[in-house]
Chains A and B, each alone.
Chain A
Amino acid sequence: MGNVINIQPVTRIEGHARIAIHLDDDGNVSDAFLHIMSLRGFEKFIEGRPAEEVPRIVNRICGICPWMHHLASNKAVDGCFGVTPTPTGHKLRELCQIMAHINDKILHFFFLAAPDFVLGPDSDYSVRNVVGIVKEAPELATQVVKMRQLGQMMLERFAGKAIHPIAGVVGGFAKPMTEEERQGLLEDTRTLLDFALFAMDFAKNSVFPKYEDVIASLGTITTGFLGTVDDSGALRLYDGHLRLMKADGTITDFPVDQYDQYLAEHVESWTYGKMPYAKCWDEGFSMDLAAPKGVYRANTLARINVAERLSTPRAQEELEEFREKFGRPAQGTLLYHWARLIELVYACERTIELLEQDDITDKNVRAKAEPKAGRGVGAVEAPRGTLIHDYTTDEDGCIVKANMIVGTTHNIAPMNMSVKEAATSLIRGGVYDEGLLNKVEMAVRAYDP
């Protein structure tokens, strides 16, 4: 066997991964792998813990999307203890979840992904980062830093902590919202909506047109998609039912608590990352680029593909324009960025909608809960994909067994495929350079892992 190109670590992503591109004797790509290098074992060490404590343990699975784990976990504990959150408790949770989406999208698009587009994929690695953007486009950079900070501080002001939150509790929420808090959040969210609309226009006018070929082809594969929708088929991030869509557009809807009937996880010996696949398609699992089996994708592009519509006006306009251009389902891997900005608009609009509801300041934020034996499955749409927590408790309300399917894992098989596709089409006859290897990484970054 020939040579192995080792890209280690994969950078401007969250977590530990390595890309290995295997070349044959002619210098062409024989295979390529995305190796996930770390595993912590949360499912084991929450065993024995009082279930009501778990939402403030599992938030540490991810420091970028701790609210997602916190809230999926709270829902699972609600299920174990058989309690339904009060209407306002429910809304405050969704509000925080949606606000967390706003920050996440600004972070990912501008801090992690944008250097490839603003400075160019071939620019020197020492400047191809957010510090480089600060130097190249100081006004934009300052604005971006301000807006992300505004979003983080909104959460922190209202809920105590933005990173590793604590305010979601079994039965609802730990504190009600005062009128003063509501007015402050509304004002800030309107600022963020303006920024989101600016970001959308900026990307459509100044970023994407420069990279049309790359966006159309880089790392592009053909798969199904998974997301969450309401009964009318509109996108939901906080709750709803799950929807799997095949590449040909065929749809399967199922309730969250039956996830284990529809999804399974494949394991390869060369990565710690598990690879969820659609068991219900009855075709097994294969990452063959020409004929993948069972592989679907999650995260922004998947969600806007499976949804019939977006429930807020500006985001819906953007979706219509997107569909006009790219069809449904759209398969272009770099379109994840485009979809991410559409979701940013949605998240800002949805936050305003929730804050404008009269009962958002109701004092009754938490239903009474008693520890007991039971099982609960909680899911939310995390920025990186559908997040599922499934717990079983004993009679003391302590965790006996836990299963989690984390957002990013849905895309592990697709990321492997996109890496292989990108490497195969870019590297010929052993010729490659730094910019080209960075383009292979861009195929991973699109998924925001």
Chain B
Amino acid sequence: MGVRVAEEWLHSCSGCEIAILNIGEPLVELLGQIDFVHIPVLMDHKYYGQMGEGEELEIPEADVGIVSGGVANEEHLEVLEAMRKQCKILIALGTCATHGGLPALINSWGMEEGIKNSYATPTTDKCQVPTDVVPKPLDRVYAVDEKVKVDLILPGCPPNPQLIAEVVTALIEGRDPVIPGKSVCDTCPTRREGKGDVSKVRRFVQNADYDPEKPIDEMRCLLEQGFMCMGPVTAAGCARRGAPSCISARVPCRGCFGPVRRDGNQMLDMMNALASNGIDFKSVVDRRSLLRFSGAHGLLRPINKKSGK
């Protein structure tokens, strides 16, 4: 019998699960060494028994539990607590689980406001917000470690399939996984010339200056070109073909692996990075969206009623 694995998704988009599939052919080999005991996206194990006869939500015991998504309603919390109870090792997979991810942007308003707004769009018939049977929302979006103890975090939006494979393989082999601990900049091959003459951040409404026929290491650093690039304050891990993935498409980093240090603050760190490059941080439109991937842990919160426009 292989290593028993349970997988769940909470306030998520399924991108993490697709990233698991994107392990590709090595996945077929891994599947020979693990036994999925619960994974709703691929397998039909039910919470309340296969005939729906049970009273309590039940997840089978597992050696390894993987959870994607943050925690935003009572059902997420119930599922997460069951996963924690049944899994010896619990992994938070993807930036929603580790830092709230994009859905935690709603923390600037609160869950209730977000839901209310969805039922008040111009094409929606006049109605009450649904409350029967559906799970009650929490006040805001939480990272998984705000609710239960987490043994290992693997951020990324999506997480890098090779790193997922590395973590699972390491657990099977009983060793510590090798996960990068540096910043995106440390893995970026673009050409840096030291402090540039940029004083303001430009919006990405025109393409970067580069020769598409030439390799990426001949393109000048996008931050030095004046674009907001969050490489300095973002955890490494996305690089797969010699460059961070967004940079390889000649597009600046937006911070989707979360802060370099687990408890870092991408907004404050980026302000510092800009200031130390002589760039006026006031030129950044919408500074709060520097926390667009890491707004859980109380970092994004409602400022006041007016901020909600």
A residues whose Cβ falls under 8 Å from a Cβ of B: 5-9, 11-16, 18, 20, 33, 35-41, 43-50, 52-53, 56-57, 60-64, 66, 81, 107, 111-112, 125-126, 128-131, 134, 141-142, 145-146, 148-149, 152-153, 156-157, 159-164, 166-167, 169-171, 174-176, 178, 259-260, 263-272, 274, 276, 285, 363, 365-366, 368-371, 396-398, 400, 403-405, 432-434, 437-438, 441
Contact = CB atoms under 8 A, between A and B. Distances in A.
B109 A366 contact: no
Interface stretch (B122-130, B144-152, B166-174, B272-280): B122-130
B292 A57 contact: yes
Nearest to B210: A175
19 contacts: A6-B52, A39-B115, A39-B118, A40-B114, A41-B114, A43-B118, A44-B113, A45-B109, A52-B205, A128-B44, A131-B43, A162-B22, A166-B251, A269-B131, A270-B132, A270-B133, A369-B206, A396-B285, A434-B50
A134 B125 contact: no
A252 B42 CA distance: 38
Contacts of B157: 60, 164
A106 to B, nearest CB: 11
Contacts of A272: 115, 130, 134
Contact of A164 (B50, B131, B158, B308): B158
A62 B15 CA distance: 7
Given A8-B52, A40-B106, A149-B22, 15 more contacts: A6-B48, A11-B40, A44-B117, A44-B118, A46-B105, A125-B45, A128-B44, A156-B240, A163-B158, A171-B205, A171-B206, A174-B251, A265-B121, A267-B130, A433-B51
Contacts, number: 281
Given A12-B44, A66-B15, A145-B28, A52 B203 contact: yes
Contacts of B119: 267, 274
A369 B205 CA distance: 6
A128 to B, nearest CB: 6
B134 A53 contact: no
A223 to B, nearest CB: 19
A265 B11 contact: no
A134 B28 contact: yes
Given A38-B73, A164-B158, A260-B123, A269 B103 contact: no
Nearest to B228: A53
Contacts of A161: 245-246, 249
Contacts of A369: 205-206
B18 A64 contact: yes
B44 A438 contact: yes
A377 to B, nearest CB: 11
Contacts of A268: 130
B304 interface: no
7 A-B pairs with least C-beta separation: A63-B15, A41-B114, A160-B249, A6-B52, A267-B127, A45-B105, A149-B24
Interface of B: 9, 11-19, 21-22, 24-25, 27-28, 31, 36, 40-48, 50-52, 72-73, 75-76, 101-103, 105-106, 108-109, 111, 113-115, 117-119, 121-125, 127-128, 130-135, 137, 157-158, 203-207, 212-213, 240-241, 245-251, 254, 256, 285-286, 289, 292, 308-309
B249 A166 contact: yes
Nearest to A5: B52
A430 to B, nearest CB: 12
A361 B124 CA distance: 43
Contacts of A170: 205
Contacts of B11: 38, 40
Given A40-B72, A160-B249, A267-B119, A107 B21 contact: yes
Contact of A60 (B15, B22, B137): B15
Given A41-B114, A145-B28, A371-B205, A7 B46 contact: yes
B205 A131 contact: no
Contacts of A159: 249
Nearest to B120: A43
B249 A129 contact: no
A289 B18 CA distance: 35
B130 to A, nearest CB: 5
Contacts of B44: 11-12, 125, 128-129, 438, 441
